[in-house]
Chains A and B, each alone.
Chain A
Amino acid sequence: MRNYNLNHLQQLEAEAIFVLRETAAQFERPGLLFSGGKDSIIMAYLASKAFAPAKIPFPFVHVDTGHNFPETIEFRDKFVKEYAVDLVVGLVQDSIDQGTAAEETGLNASRNALQSVTLLETIDRENFDACLGGGRRDEEKARAKERFFSHRDSFGQWNPKDQRPELWNLFNGGKGQGENFRIFPLSNWTEMDVWQYAKTEGIELPSLYFAHERNVIERNGMLLAISDFVSPHEKEEVSKEKVRFRTIGDATCTGAVISDASNLEEVIAEVSASRVTERGSRADDKRSEAAMEDRKKQGYF
């Protein structure tokens, strides 16, 4: 008899597509959080598979700190055009201008935490009742605790001490007035799975993920790229290095790693030999022991 077995990438794909379709079916107005990073690209790609030949039935939502690598925005716009979806942009600058968010000051100032404010404002303005996120449980210890369908109260808060039980593949998206959901189709994927899947499916990723030369400085044990938003302080030395990014977030807090990996195959080899997590290069998680949990409670992705 034929052997009816899926390999684990195929299992993860089937699971993610199931979750994406449940989202479309259970909610009135879901949005897909699209940062231009690899996880959101994979999620968007899976969404295009899930609903083909129809268009993806939700708009993309980009919460924009204004501190982007130009490559990210280029890639985003190209992608949106290719998939013919609507793009909703929430600008952190708008929240600052309205006085609902305040710019951080000091040496390590970042707009990363302000994204929560802008995200909640965007959800409100657009009446989203669910937002799909590319978060993975292997990324961080608070994320490791999160459900596929993660409930948010009417303040947009996550209550990790009282999450709904989530059994089998029966996702309960029921909610009261003003409440909404964050939904994570890639929950069970690891960083390695993401790279492997991109390779098997031939998914194009932004050039930032592959080795290139760039001016960087070392700050708090991280390599930060010199850009319009990051300039060297006194005593910091700028050097030109061959680097790539393992995650892409706000340019002010996403560290680069020294690398020669210029294609997916080489990236995969490098990741499998790596002894630090991808978030090891993110300053936003290093702020305190429960930095991610605290941000998530406030409404972060």
Chain B
Amino acid sequence: MDKDYIEMDMLRFTTAGSVDDGKSTLIGRLFHDTKSIFEDQLEAIEQSSKKRGDENINLALLTDGLRAEREQGITIDVAYRYFATPKRKFIIADTPGHIQYTRNMVTGASTANLALILVDARIGVVEQTRRHSFIADLLGIKHIAVCINKMDLVGYEEEAYEKVLRQFSDFASRLENISELTFIPLSALKGDNIVERSENMPWYKGAPLLYHLENVYIGSDANHVDSRFPVQWVIRPHSDKHHDFRGFAGRVAGGVFKKGDEITALPSGFTSRISKIMLGKEEMEEAFFPQSVTIQLEDKIDISRGDMLVKPNNQPKSSQDLDARICWFSNSKKLTQGGKYLIKHTTKTAQAMISEITYKVDVNSLRKNEQDKEFNMNDIGRIKFRTSEPIFYDAYRRNRNTGSFILIDPFTHQTLAAGMLR
């Protein structure tokens, strides 16, 4: 099994959808039915369920691990869980549905390749379903599986499923990035269509959830074309043995770098050649996304953290005037025109001043609202801003690593917003 375990393909997915639609229960059920819950964990969950007076064993307790979550029966922050089947290894982010904790949903979704969007079959698509779907789309998640849950409460009727399917499809037609959309009727509580096909819904011809997760073709979101190496740290050993050593440590954010390649260092514009690529003691011929390596150059040029190594004939955009879509997180601070923040983009931190609030998006209709420019917690929209130094970037759609940034409050150090460059 050794070799297989190591070579196994990995899928990162996130749950999404409105509060109480059954996200945590679904993850618990998936673990339970694939026998991925350990005995001591199951025992602890059984005991807690009993103590709470729950009728059945409450599988949401597998991910709802905080005291405050268990008290209220809701998810507050993302739980990360791991499991593997013989086909794939999974990293799961179970996120909260409550609107107050949308920032935590964004946290979980920002590293996912696929989103499970849960909808309560009785209630259908609600504002929070739309908000989460829109955010998943903004973040560039291309695969969405809509889990129409609680089918046990609607008599496992096809009609209820069809109704949600139509509702969601109608909304999804206005989203930009989704390339694959699947609908699965299920009951997280009872275990229908999770691991095994449900006998209660013979009218459903598709696969159960696990089969879908194991087999959906994800390909790679990685950009292996545009070579980008944001410098994280300069390695200078200060020892006699490595007296002249200067290595640029970082993680390839896109493309491929090979020994002997000509590179340009930004912002200086100086060029040199790669003399060596290393990690630890091992020397390598090439490095590609998302490898962490150390690059040495033939010439001594001035390069420090926040600079970027690229190929002379394929350079990122470089500008101090930027245009982006953002999701605002703060409940105590509002986004204001003229407001000053810190921007963190790749390994660079600079100052940013908002020059224009272009519009806000109504998450229900996905219409742009150019009149109401007051950004409160969880608002999504578009802004323009100017930075204190040039930022080297690609459009988020082209490269998540060089197209994403966060805004930070210079006084409280809080993370205020997530942004995606155009």
Contacts and interface: CB of A to CB of B under 8 A. Distances in A.
A188 B82 contact: yes
Contacts of B41: 277
A144 B67 contact: no
B292 interface: yes
A53 B242 contact: yes
A268 B342 CA distance: 46
Interface stretch (A59-67, A98-106, A159-167): A159-167
Interface in B97-111: 103-104, 106-107, 110-111
Contacts of A280: 38-40
Interface stretch (A13-21, A28-36, A204-212): A13-21
Given A14-B290, A165-B106, A168-B111, A54 B235 contact: yes
A240 interface: no
B38 A275 contact: yes
B271 interface: no
B77 A160 contact: yes
A167 B418 contact: yes
A73 B70 CA distance: 39
Interface stretch (B159-167, B194-202, B311-319, B397-405): B397-405
B144 to A, nearest CB: 19
A107 interface: no
Nearest to B278: A52
A264 B382 CA distance: 53
Given A145-B77, A188-B80, A289-B44, A4 B289 contact: yes
Interface in A149-207: 160-161, 163-170, 172, 174-176, 187-188, 190, 192, 196, 200
Interface stretch (B6-14, B119-127, B146-154): B6-14
A18 B232 contact: yes
Contact of B224 (A4, A15, A169, A192): A4
A25 B233 CA distance: 6
Contacts of B110: 167-168
A54 B236 CA distance: 7
Contacts of A141: 62-63, 65-66, 79
Contacts of A49: 279-280
A11 B236 contact: no
A22 interface: yes
A216 B51 CA distance: 33
A276 interface: yes
Contact of A168 (B79, B91, B235, B400): B400
Contacts, number: 189
Contacts of B38: 274-277, 280
Interface stretch (B180-188, B354-362, B363-371, B408-416): B408-416
A18 B292 contact: yes
Interface in B1-36: 1-2, 5-10
A233 interface: no
A160 B89 CA distance: 27
A210 B134 CA distance: 50
A144 to B, nearest CB: 4
A164 B68 CA distance: 17
Q: Which bracket fits the contact residues of A?
A: 35 or more
Contacts of A68: none
B408 A137 contact: no
A165 B67 contact: no
A144 B89 contact: no
Interface in A246-301: 265, 268, 272, 274-277, 279-280, 289-290, 293-294
B301 to A, nearest CB: 20
A170 B237 contact: no
A51 B406 contact: no
Given A8-B10, A164-B414, A165-B106, A17 B77 contact: no
Contacts of A188: 80, 82, 91
A24 interface: yes
Interface string B43-86: 01000100000000000001101111010000011111110000
A172 B344 contact: yes
B249 interface: yes
A290 B103 CA distance: 24
Contacts of A272: 1, 5
B294 interface: yes
A192 B6 CA distance: 10
A167 B245 contact: no
Contacts of B345: 170
A49 B235 CA distance: 12
B81 A144 contact: yes
Contacts of B291: 6, 10, 14
Given A140-B65, A279-B40, A290-B67, 16 more contacts: A21-B292, A22-B232, A53-B235, A53-B237, A53-B241, A137-B82, A144-B81, A165-B103, A165-B104, A166-B107, A168-B404, A188-B82, A274-B38, A276-B38, A277-B41, A289-B70
Q: Which 7 A-B pairs have the closest CB atoms?
A: A141-B65, A174-B413, A49-B280, A54-B237, A17-B292, A280-B40, A165-B103
12 contacts: A7-B7, A8-B6, A22-B232, A141-B66, A160-B68, A164-B415, A168-B110, A176-B412, A176-B413, A272-B1, A279-B40, A293-B65
